[in-house]
Amino acid sequence: MSVRPKKQLGQHFLADGNILDVIERLAELGPDDVVLEIGPGLGVLTRRLADRSGHVHAVELDRSLEPRLAELAARGNVDLHWGDALALDLAALEPAPTKLVANLPYNVATPIVAESLAGLPSLDAWTVMVQREVADRFFAAPSTKAYGSVSVLVQLAAERTGFHPVSRTVFRPPPNVDSALDAFRRLPLPERYL
């Protein structure tokens, strides 16, 4: 079955096994991890996540991908959730996700990261594919052009653990922007906030 990416949803499907290896390395997955994947697309990353973690919650907006993703739901450790990740109650997922690993839809990457930092306290690590400009903003230094409110939010809550620039050629169709994998881990709250 051939699936055409939908431009209005910003779909660019991963098409390179090497980048899956990089995602896996940066995510440091183990059998106790419960992964939240937003935008599984054709499921190529989802399969890897399911093979290397205890459980995967895959959230997809595009119902036309259901036939491609249905076999993943039969695996036993993958739950498919249909809808807008920004509208779903992700905090109610059971088991609670501990890592967000995703090729995020670029048009909603910043709000997804911001919402997950604030609204999903069970998450302790992120490995996300985002537009390069967005990755640069997450950990931009003060007084630089890229520094802004999202930089403050992300840096107050997390520290970068990995970064990998990504070629446009790993996607079908190739996007018009550069991409990057950004990995970060939640910082512990200071004692006075506990």
State percent of the chain over pLDDT 70. 91
User: For 169-182, how does the pLDDT look when each residue is reduced to its tens digit (9 = 90+)?
Assistant: 888 777 789 999 99
Average pLDDT score over residue span 65-87: 93
Average pLDDT score over residue span 45-56: 97
Q: Which residues contact 66 (CB under 8 A, 6 or more apart)?
A: 80, 82
Beta strand pairing call for 171-172 and 13-14? antiparallel
Taking all residues of the chain, what is their mean pLDDT, rounded to a whole number? 91
| 73 vs 87: which has the higher pLDDT | 87
Could you tell me if residue 191 is left (phi over 0), alpha (psi between -120 and 50 degrees) or otherwise beta? alpha
The domain spans of the chain are 7-184
User: For 79-109, how does the pLDDT look when each residue is reduced to its tens digit (9 = 90+)?
Assistant: 999 999 999 999 999 999 999 999 998 889 9
The DSSP element (H or E) to which 27 belongs, if any, is helix 17-27
CATH 3.40.920.10, applies to 7-184? no
pLDDT of residue 17: 85
User: For 123-176, how does the pLDDT look when each residue is reduced to its tens digit (9 = 90+)?
Assistant: 999 999 999 999 999 999 999 999 999 999 999 999 999 999 999 988 877 778
Query: HEC string of 104-131?
Result: CCHHHHHHHHHHHHHHCCCCCEEEEEEE
Write b or e for each residue in 104-123: b if 16 or more Cβ atoms lie within 10 A of its Cβ, otherwise e: bbbebbbebbeebbeebebb
Could you tell me if residue 5 is left (phi over 0), alpha (psi between -120 and 50 degrees) or otherwise beta? beta
User: For 17-27, how does the pLDDT look when each residue is reduced to its tens digit (9 = 90+)?
Assistant: 899 999 999 99
Is-cis flag, bond preceding 95, omega within 30?
yes
pLDDT of residue 7: 59
* Residues counted in the chain: 194
pLDDT of residue 172: 78
pLDDT of residue 189: 74
